[in-house]
Amino acid sequence: MAIFRPPTDDFLNLGNIDIDVRRTERGRLAHALFRHFDNLPVGRNIYRMKDGSFLENDPAVSDDIEKVYYGGHEYQVTEQEVAELTAAGYGAYIT
């Protein structure tokens, strides 16, 4: 059985979170430390809609969602799902 891993982006920068929030001395030190970390990977959620299409952004109507592949997780997929995901452009994320 094939494994599908939804795509990830490396753009979560811990040093830029809540910059405008007032902090205690301890909070400022922690914030200064996080500026030295590399960006973290963030998984993208893939929504399979009832009409067979795929979306990466949250759909306006949640009743139209058939299945969700949450980013950062691995999914065992059937041959039919492999064909559908490949046709939708996610073939590179299937092993």
Residue range 48-55: mean pLDDT, rounded: 95
| pLDDT for res 53 | 95
Record the tokens describing residue 2, joined without a space: 């094939």
Record the tokens describing residue 3, joined without a space: 């494994």
Closest CA to 48 of 20, 6, 10: 6
Give pLDDT tens digits for 66-93. 999 999 999 999 999 999 999 999 999 9
| pLDDT for res 59 | 87
**Considering the entire predicted model, what is its pTM?**
0.74
SS3 of residue 54 by DSSP:
strand
Angle value at C-alpha 89, between 88 and 91, nearest 5 degrees: 110
